[in-house]
Amino acid sequence: MNLKENFVLKDSEIQEAEDWISGEEGQVLLARLYKNYHFKRAQINEYPQVHIFDSRYAKGFAITFEEPFTSKTFSQVFLAFAQRVLALGYQQVSLDRKMEEVNEQVKVTEKFYFKPPLQMPVDGELISQLYGNIAIEKVSVNNQPNYLKFLATFYSDRLYQDPKPFDHMLDRLFDANTNGQNSI
């Protein structure tokens, strides 16, 4: 079995995620995730666990589904991250769901994909890629949340500026006070 489909979120789902992430529970969880990301960089594991991706052309992290997450709060963080990426000036390219059978288990991956806004090249100037292309995935196995993945991939083309520092984007992604809307 292998099925991939595009889907659309209801406005009420997006609003609920924005309200939750702006509320006390969402803010506390975001702060914990941000702290755990920095702990992981210092080789300290805390829960929920954060795993770091760091290569020349991609940077990101994954968050394991474990305490204090519930299925609902896991989905809220997934949707909230997407809203914060949009607030950074990105354009949503797609939202899809892929269902596949892997080792007699059903794996479902919901994925947002974002690109920087299109720009016409100006003579003598490089094109901004902001922080690169962004993919946010929520993976479930047998209807149980498994992990979230946030990945920024960079253009290596000579027409593009170097990406802005990933840590700056993280600050905006996890900033409880701005809902991601700091200036870029």
Transcribe 152-174 into DSSP letters: EE----TTBPPPPPHHHHHHHHH
Least Cα distance to 107 among 97, 115, 116, 117 occurs for 97
pLDDT digits (tens, 9 = 90+) for 44-63: 999 999 999 999 999 999 99
CA atoms within 13 A on the CB side of 16: 10
Using a pLDDT cut of 70, give the percent of the chain over it.
Answer: 95
Which pLDDT belongs to residue 158? Answer: 86
Identify whether the C-beta of residue 148 lies closer than 8 Å to the C-beta of residue 173: no
Confidence of residue 69 (pLDDT cuts 50, 70, 90): very high
* Residue 116, pLDDT above cutoff 60: yes
User: What is the reported pTM?
Assistant: 0.92
Spatial separation of the C-alpha atoms in residues 181 and 89, rounded to whole Å? 9
Using a pLDDT cut of 90, give the percent of the chain over it.
Answer: 81
